[in-house]
Each structure stands twice: as structure tokens, then as C-alpha cells.
Amino acid sequence: MMVSVVIPCFNGAATIRDCLQALTDQSFGASYEIILVDSSYDATPEIVTRFFPGVRLIHLDKKTDPGSARNIGIKQSKGDPLLFIDADCVADPAWIAKMVERHREGHPVVGGAVENNNRAGDAVALAGYMAEFREFLPEHPERMMPHVPACNISYKREIFNTYGFFDKNYYPQEDMLYNYRLMDKGIKILFSPDIQVKHTHRSRLKDFFSHQRLIGEVTPAVLDQLDLPGSFLARNPFITLLLGPFLPFVKFIRTLGVFLRLRAATVFRQPVAVILFAAGLGAWIAGFIQGVWSKHQIKERKR
């Protein structure tokens, strides 16, 4: 069996060495390839070439979104299954072995838990972790899920052969759209909490707010493609204006409830992170409302 690990990367010099070292040191006994699809203009290519000659580096001339980079890696890969991790993540030593074991049990798509890789006192990073990964904490039980982030997921090759590739137009939620479309075809993801990666989050407040706003802006376009709770908001801009202010409150309560239940000590040690998370929801709803109205205006122009 040949296994392929595909990593999209843009300006990952600060994290790529730890990412690739963890993948190189895997306990998996069979053969596997590591493919880095990189569009960096920092020192990433030099780091890879110097320290990881066994990694297949595909360097692109211009900045490329993660979905497109993954698609390139899929087409260039030889293995089955295909494992995905991000350049700012560090895999558990048995990450590949555990993924392959669950595929051998018959699961076409397998995902795992995401841990926070930033230092304990980084409140901005913890706010980002709370905003994006509440459903993927290692404390959650094993279960079938409609979505697991592409920083810790694996697919049998037949999935891509049958259902195509990631859609670059929905970054940073192209993986969510892809996985929910699979769910519509009857394919769910096995979430295994012992398959873990550690994710390095944004530490600058400006970057955190910008990313939360971008997620909010793209969310209506994703919901418009799917039949999910909340999809009606993406299709009705006036209802969004009416109910939109309540969405951050709902998301805050749900997220805080999960962390209080599973990681109360973390919350009480870093209350500043909770405040920053709440502020980030303001950026998220601003992006959401903008996304709904932008989509509405495009539809009106097409009439």
C-alpha cells in the first residue's frame, strides 16, 4: 500500500519544518509519499529543499488557495488513501497509521481531532481555536459527522474519482462545502478523536478579525448551495438584517457551553480569550451580512 499525504502551503516558513518533521517521523510501517503544494514567496521552498529532500515539492508561481493546491496534489499523487493536513499543523506520531487502520475497517472518509498548538498564554490564538474547532476537540466521542476540517482528514481515492474535487471559489470553507455535498450522497465522515493534529492559530488580533470576517462572508455562499439549518438566512437578505444580530449570541452560547463542559479550566484561566472570541463574532456577523447582500445584489443584476 502506498499512502499519499497532501499539504497546501502559502508562506509557511514559520511552521513548515515542524509539520514536515512530524510527518517524516511517523510510526507507519508501509510506504508513503509527502506532497507539498506550495505557493510561498518566503523561505518555505528553501527549508523544504534543504531539510526534507524526500518531500515532493510542487512550487507554484502565484498565490494559490488551499482547495486548488489540494486538487493539484490529488492529481499528482499515487497513493490510496489520500491524507490531508495543513502546513501550520503537527501530526501525532501515529497519525498515518491510525488513519489507514480506520480506512481498512471500511470507512471511505476519516477525520480526526484538532488541538491548539499555540503557547498557553496566547489569548488571540485560543479565541481562534474556540471560533473554529469546538466540534473537533479530542474530548468529543467517536461518531459519524457531516464535516471535519481539511487540516485533519483522509479520503479514499474513489471519492475524488466519483465526486470530483474541492471548489476554489468557497475558500476558506471549500472543505465544508465538499463534505456536506458528500453527505447529500449518503457519505458521512468517521470522526476518531484519537487521530490528532495540533494547529497553530493566528496570534495577531488584526489577522484573527480579518479571518473571522472572511469566514462570515463566505458562509452565505456555502449555505446557498446546501439544504441546512440557516440556509434560509443566506437566501433572504431582509430576514438576515432582522435576525442577524442574534446569530453571534447563539454561536457564543453554544461554543462557550462546549468549552465549559469539556475544557472549563482553559476558559477560567484565560477569560480574555472568551472576550476576544465574542469580539470575533462581531467580525463574523459583519462578514455574513455583507456576504448575503453581495449575493443578493448579484442575483438582482442578473434578472
**Domain final position from 143, 174, 203:** 203
The total of other beta-carbon atoms located within 10 Å of residue 226's CB is 16
Do residues 74 and 195 share a domain? yes
Average pLDDT score, the chain: 94
Q: How confident is the model at residue 1 (pLDDT cuts 50, 70, 90)?
A: low
Do residues 233 and 147 share a domain? no
Range of the domain at 254: 206-302
- State how far the Cα of 8 lies from the Cα of 15, in Å rounded to an integer: 13
Do residues 186 and 224 share a domain? no
The total of other beta-carbon atoms located within 10 Å of residue 262's CB is 14
Do residues 245 and 155 share a domain? no
What's residue 236's pLDDT? 85
Do residues 93 and 227 share a domain? no
What's residue 300's pLDDT? 41
* Per-residue pLDDT reduced to its tens digit, 63-74: 999 999 999 999
Q: Is 124 helix (H, G, I), strand (E, B) or coil?
A: helix
Query: Concatenated DSSP letters for 144-211?
Result: EES---TTEEEE-HHHHHHH----GGGTTSHHHHHHHHHHHTT--EEEEEEEEEEEPPP-SHHHHHHH
CB 255 within 8 A of CB 130: yes
Residue 297 pLDDT more than 60? no
Query: Concatenated DSSP letters for the chain?
Result: -EEEEEEEESS-TTTHHHHHHHHHT----SEEEEEEEE--SSSHHHHHHHH-TTSEEEE-SS---HHHHHHHHHHH---SSEEEE-TTEEE-TTHHHHHHHHHHTT-SEEEEEEEE-S-TT-HHHHHHHHHH-GGG-TTSPPEEES---TTEEEE-HHHHHHH----GGGTTSHHHHHHHHHHHTT--EEEEEEEEEEEPPP-SHHHHHHHHHHHHHHHHHHHHTS--TTHHHHH-HHHHHHHGGGHHHHHHHHHHHHHHHH-HHHHHH-HHHHHHHHHHHHHHHHHHHHHHHHHHHHHHHH-
Query: Mean pLDDT across the stretch 116-128?
Result: 96
- Residue 166 CA, chain-centre distance (Å), reads 13
Do residues 175 and 259 share a domain? no
Do residues 121 and 262 share a domain? no
Do residues 176 and 258 share a domain? no
Q: How many domains does the chain fold into?
A: 2
Q: What is the CATH number for 53?
A: 3.90.550.10
Residue 296 pLDDT more than 70? no
* Per-residue pLDDT reduced to its tens digit, 200-223: 999 999 999 999 999 999 999 999
- State how far the Cα of 85 lies from the Cα of 163, in Å rounded to an integer: 20
Query: Mean pLDDT across the stretch 94-120?
Result: 97
**Domain final position from 176, 203, 230:** 203
What's residue 241's pLDDT? 85
Q: Which three three-digit cell numbers place residue 245? A: 444580530
Residue 301 pLDDT more than 50? no
Burial class (CB in 10 A: 0-12, 13-18, 19+), 244: middle
